Amino acid sequence: MKRFSLIIFIAFTVAFLTSCGKENTESDEPGLLLGFSQIGSESAWRIGNTLDIETAAEQSGINLMFENANQKQENQIAAIRKFIAYKVDVIAFSPIVEDGWDNVLEEAKDAGIPVILVDRDISTDKTDLTSCLIGADFYREGYMAGEYLIRKVDSLGLDHVNIAEITGTVNSTPMRQRQAGFMDAIAGDPRMTVIESIDGDFLKSRGAENMRHLLETYGDTIDVIFSHNDEMTLGAIPEIENAGFVPGKDMIIISIDGGQEAIDVLKAGKINCIVECTPKLGKLLMDTAAKLKAGEPVLSVIHPEEQVFSDEQDTSQIAPRGY
């Protein structure tokens, strides 16, 4: 028995000494821990955004602590406090509305944790609460929607159009800036009258509800629907058809996001224009988080490239959207 024990002892000793001398191929440094608070799952866009972030984290070897706020700001604030308690390396979040973040972001700053804004912005007088905003140029999206409408009215030779706007979540960055961009684009054109702006909260159900209200109120005097996202547009279209109108023909339909379901409706001619708002921000987020952890400088604002899909082009050539 003693001989056997001696052999085992020698084997373990050799193995131990060999490992001590070996170059550590795996860093002992733990991977970056990123805390991300997502707004919810209100749209195909949001679901696609979440999937893209999760995929990018996995591909980057970044440990993702993910919290879904289910459309409640208080849940996002609680998630940020949880990330602080866990001492994550970087915090990122998509703020559901622009106001009300100063206190919790002061806490993150005091904890020495950098914060990245994803998709949406915050409104604050303090300049040093966040390191970077990664998200669409919503003003440009709205402006491009307005520019499309001007071209469409020109091509149809219309003297005047009544526009009904179905907006996204009030006080959210995309709602504020898409509205501002659209109104600025059409401001100088006397043919354009906005007859009502109504809050649809980016939700399909509210898009349907608002469209019923608009049809009951204005009937066939509505010439244009400008909807801040595809979900609300997809809720509105069946209501337009139920009322006996042909979307895309009797009413010009303009939307934003560019998810597959809406692109298919565009291809069917029931939507005239969709301004792309890409949810694919994951790689930009991971690269920025890694730079912040490494103490490298990052840009204060990063806008992804975006395009316009419309009946001015051969929509059959639009590639699969992936969300």
Give me the residues that bind ligand GZL (CB under 6 A), please: 42-43, 45-46, 119-120, 136, 174, 202, 229, 231, 256-257, 277
Alpha-carbon torsion, ordered 153, 159, 160, 161, to 10 deg: -30
CB 185 within 8 A of CB 150: yes
Q: Give the helix/strand (H/E) hosting 33.
A: strand 33-38
In eight-state DSSP terms, residue 28 is S
**How near is the Cβ of 283 to ligand GZL at its closest, in Å?**
16
Looking at beta carbons only, is 142 or 248 nearer to ligand GZL? Answer: 142
Q: Reduce the DSSP state of residue 97 to 3 states and report it.
A: coil
**How near is the Cβ of 150 to ligand GZL at its closest, in Å?**
22
Looking at beta carbons only, is 248 or 258 nearer to ligand GZL? Answer: 258
Looking at beta carbons only, is 42 or 223 nearer to ligand GZL? Answer: 42
**How near is the Cβ of 45 to ligand GZL at its closest, in Å?**
3
Rounded CA separation 220/222 (Å)? 5
Phi/psi region, residue 119 (left: phi>0; alpha: psi -120 to 50; beta: rest), is left
**How near is the Cβ of 201 to ligand GZL at its closest, in Å?**
9
Looking at beta carbons only, is 214 or 256 nearer to ligand GZL? Answer: 256
Q: Cα-atom radius of gyration of the chain, to the nearest Å?
A: 25
**Token code pair at residue 275:** 């301004």
Looking at beta carbons only, is 177 or 310 nearer to ligand GZL? Answer: 177
**How near is the Cβ of 120 to ligand GZL at its closest, in Å?**
5
Identify residue 225 by its one-letter amino acid code.
I
